[in-house]
Amino acid sequence: MLRKINKLSPPILLRLLATLCSAFLLISAYPPFGYSESAWAALIPLLFVARYSNPKQSFNYSFIAGMLFWLISVSWLLSLGNTGGPLPLVALGWILLSLYCGMYIGLFTMVVSWIWVKVRTLPTYAQGVIMPIIIPIIWVGFEYARSTLFSGFAWNQLGISQYNNLLVIQIAQWGGVYAVSALVVIVNVSFTFLLMRFVNLLLKKKQARISIEVFLGLMAWLACLSIGIRAIQTTDISKRNQKHVTITAIQPNIQQIKKWPKDYALSIYNQIKSQTTLASMQNPDLIVWPETTLPGTIGITHYTEIFISKLARLGSPILAGIMEEREKNDETILYNSSFLFGTDGTIINSYRKRHLVPFGEYLPLENQIKFLKRLAPLGFSCMPGKESTVFKLKGKETDISFSSLICFEDTIAPLARQSVRNGARLLINQTNDAWFDGTAGAIQHMTHCIFRCVENRIPAVRCANTGITVFIDNTGRTDILKNDKNYSYLYKNSRINIPPADMPATFYTRFGDYTLAIPCGIITIILLALTLRRKENTATPQKRQR
């Protein structure tokens, strides 16, 4: 069977061109380009390669496409070389991460190629039913694996490319971002079969006709649009009976190279004081500071705590992103934390970041290899928190129950889901994207937060040091703070609808990834094992023959 495939295989140059085409389409689908429409056709060239190549060839070509996509997509990582990271190590990390993520695209196409060999003898209509179902399962399975294995890199799933397509992303309330990814893949598969039929027509092999796989893809897309329209209408109607809170998000725009040196500490404190004082004059229900707003810490020393307490006494509670410093067994421990200060100046509650960024907030194996700590970009490492915190406040119109997600935690759907299940009716992402200032990293980061709102049908406030400060409603609509030409420090007020405490949980909030992503992952592992086993079996007779 593989010999027949090799005879039908397109020339190497043509397959390489298809590889580059898929890479280009994937790159253009995400910020900074943001042509989300290209995602609906991005996999077609790779699927053609899988159809007319053996599994090994499919892996090699699609791995190139995946590597190129990730090298460009996360090239903003190189800016770490300007904000504290040793450039050689930053470049090495960028390359290794791109190779690792690109491998998943290679494995996806390899398994698809193997399945196409298996179903080739089946009738055309049977192939048309099987492939539009199994290919999205494989894609979601590998996407979920990349997002979870080895602490996970839950970044730029295929569905994320549709962040500004409100009608499409509403299905995330049932299957998370992976449901949107699956839909995009189904459409790609349908177009692939359609193009194959046109190729057969040109080669005068078969007559062109409407195929079941094209019908399935079209029906899935139309059903999604119908669901999206209904979901937005229902959600907007429910907001009419919801009460409001007024929240101010402060964006100080402090450059990363100025955040920690003592020479800039006084100016940072004065700037935050000025912004918070102005914001307090509008008497919001809550003022939000971004991640690690001040160069001081809370815990061992008291200056920073006293400073925030005085500002909170101006009349509005403050949710402050601050480093927390504690002593344990004669050792200083640091947490990336968020503290809620009441109007009486006392700390109401706090949250410690649970999912730390490897090579940013800690270095793997640093406790075993001591000199690695010297290479930490921050100059120190953090300890992870263990619990999800639900902050509670009394607003003017209604009580507020909310949770903080610090930095990249809003890219991890289970963390947001857990907060909502614990009672949070608002998510607040406090982040410092100054590490990647002026790059696409900030807007790519923001796109993930939109899906946390749709998945759980609750609003979010995203407060950034630099980058994108934005208010997101529970359908994914955004109200972004626009930076002025001078890039001076800013803040933004917004009235936010707060869902009631007894709001019905979405399907995703109730079941999470257990109904789609995890089953897809299990099926994909089985298919990958069978694919690799097949390769071993085909190699064994050759060795015996020798």
pLDDT digits (tens, 9 = 90+) for 126-169: 777 889 999 999 999 999 999 999 889 999 999 999 999 999 99
The pLDDT of residue 205 is above 70: no
Instruction: Say which residue the tokens 């809170």 belong to.
Output: 245
User: Residue 498: which residues within 8 A CB-CB, separation 6 or more?
Assistant: 242, 243, 244, 245, 395, 398, 400, 425, 426, 459
Preceding amide of 358 cis, omega within 30: no
- Residue pair 462/470 in contact (Cβ under 8 Å)? The answer is yes
Biggest CA pair distance of the chain: 85
For 251, list phi and psi in degrees, rounded to 5: -120, 100
Give the least confident one: 171-185, 208-222, 390-404, 445-459: 208-222
Q: What is the C-alpha separation between 177 and 155, in angstroms, rounded?
A: 11
**263, 269, 274, 275: CA torsion to nearest 10:** 110
User: Residue 302: which residues within 8 A CB-CB, separation 6 or more?
Assistant: none
DSSP letter, residue 163 = T
Q: What is the C-alpha separation between 345 and 309, in angstroms, rounded?
A: 4
Beta bridge partners of 391: 402
- Residue pair 320/289 in contact (Cβ under 8 Å)? The answer is yes
The pLDDT of residue 94 is above 80: yes
Angle at 81 between CA 80 and CA 86, to 5 degrees: 115
List the one residue out of 139, 218, 161 whose CA is nearest residue 36.
161
Q: What is the C-alpha separation between 45 and 15, in angstroms, rounded?
A: 8
pTM: 0.91
What tokens were used for 106? Answer: 């290679």
DSSP letter, residue 55 = H
Q: What is the C-alpha separation between 287 and 433, in angstroms, rounded?
A: 19
Per-residue pLDDT at 374: 58
Per-residue pLDDT at 140: 98
- Residue pair 37/50 in contact (Cβ under 8 Å)? The answer is no
Per-residue pLDDT at 80: 85
Q: What single letter denotes the amino acid at residue 363?
A: L
Which residue stretches of 281-372 are H helix?
303-312
What average pLDDT does this structure show over 286-311?
93
Beta bridge partners of 250: 491
List the one residue out of 44, 43, 23 whose CA is nearest residue 33.
23
Per-residue pLDDT at 284: 96
User: Residue 330: which residues within 8 A CB-CB, separation 6 or more?
Assistant: none
pLDDT, tens digit, for every residue of 389-399?
A: 999 999 888 88
Cβ-based burial of 374 (10 A; exposed 0-12, middle 13-18, buried ≥19)? exposed
Please, which pLDDT band fits residue 5 given cuts at 50, 70 and 90?
very low
The pLDDT of residue 544 is above 50: no
Every domain range in the chain assigned CATH 3.60.110.10: 242-510
The pLDDT of residue 305 is above 70: yes
User: Residue 151: which residues within 8 A CB-CB, separation 6 or more?
Assistant: 355, 358
Per-residue pLDDT at 221: 92
Per-residue pLDDT at 87: 85
C-beta atoms surrounding 278 within 10 Å: 12
CATH topology of domain 242-510: Nitrilase/N-carbamoyl-D-aminoacid amidohydrolase (3.60.110)
List the one residue out of 144, 183, 174 whose CA is nearest residue 43.
183
Per-residue pLDDT at 268: 95
pLDDT, tens digit, for every residue of 111-125?
A: 999 999 888 878 777
Please, which pLDDT band fits residue 483 given cuts at 50, 70 and 90?
confident
Per-residue pLDDT at 539: 47
- CA 273 → CA 128, 320, 488, distances in Å? 63, 12, 15
- Residue pair 355/415 in contact (Cβ under 8 Å)? The answer is yes
What average pLDDT does this structure show over 230-238?
92
Q: What single letter denotes the amino acid at residue 176?
A: G
Please, which pLDDT band fits residue 291 given cuts at 50, 70 and 90?
very high
% of residues, the chain, pLDDT over 70: 89
The pLDDT of residue 540 is above 70: no
- Residue pair 341/348 in contact (Cβ under 8 Å)? The answer is yes
Please, which pLDDT band fits residue 193 given cuts at 50, 70 and 90?
confident
For 531, list phi and psi in degrees, rounded to 5: -65, -45
DSSP letter, residue 479 = E
- Residue pair 322/340 in contact (Cβ under 8 Å)? The answer is no
Which residue stretches of 52-176 are H helix?
55-73, 87-119, 124-148, 166-169, 172-175
Mean pLDDT value across the chain: 89
List the one residue out of 317, 494, 459 whose CA is nearest residue 395.
317
Q: Report the number of secondary-structure helices (H) and strands (E) in the chain.
A: 17, 13
Per-residue pLDDT at 6: 47
The dihedral built from the CA positions of residue 161, 166, 171 and 175, taken in this order, carries a sign that is positive
Beta bridge partners of 400: 393
Please, which pLDDT band fits residue 300 given cuts at 50, 70 and 90?
confident
pLDDT, tens digit, for every residue of 315-351?
A: 999 999 999 998 887 788 899 999 999 999 999 999 9
Please, which pLDDT band fits residue 364 given cuts at 50, 70 and 90?
low
For 343, list phi and psi in degrees, rounded to 5: -70, -10
Please, which pLDDT band fits residue 367 given cuts at 50, 70 and 90?
low
Per-residue pLDDT at 487: 55
Give the least confident one: 3-7, 100-104, 184-188, 363-367: 3-7
DSSP element (H, E) containing 188: helix 177-202
Which residue stretches of 246-332 are H helix?
256-259, 265-280, 303-312
Q: Are strands 490-498 and 243-251 parallel, antiparallel or unpaired?
A: antiparallel
Which value, in Å, is the radius of gyration of the alpha carbons in the chain?
25
What average pLDDT does this structure show over 363-383?
62
- Residue pair 172/454 in contact (Cβ under 8 Å)? The answer is yes
Cβ-based burial of 205 (10 A; exposed 0-12, middle 13-18, buried ≥19)? exposed
Q: Tell which wins on pLDDT, 369 or 33.
A: 33
